Amino acid sequence: MKWNSSVYLTLAFAGIALLTATIVGVVLLRKHTQTTPHGQGFIEVNQASSPEEKHVINMQINGYENPTFRYFETQED
């Protein structure tokens, strides 16, 4: 089976294109992982808050709901 030079040229071009796409993909993936925060799932809390505000934030994290809001929500039904 004899192939002409255009087949070799096409295969070479396809190989170079595949290699280039792989390199670009790896570079973009590394750049994306470096810029995304690794601590996802944590709640950002303002460090300059007072002790009362910290207490309220901790209560809200633990599921506390203000009874006044709950009262008004039931009145709307």
Over the stretch 40-70, which tens digit does the pLDDT of each residue have?
666 666 676 788 888 888 888 888 877 777 7
Structural domain boundaries enclosing 21 = 5-37+48-76
**Domain contains 33:** yes
First-to-last C-alpha distance (Å) of the chain: 81
**Domain contains 71:** yes
pTM of the model: 0.43
Q: What is the model's pLDDT at position 64?
A: 81
From residue 3, alpha-carbon distances to 48, 60, 71 in Å are: 74, 73, 82
**Domain contains 63:** yes
- What's the total number of domains in the chain? 1
**Domain contains 43:** no
Residue range 2-15: mean pLDDT, rounded: 88
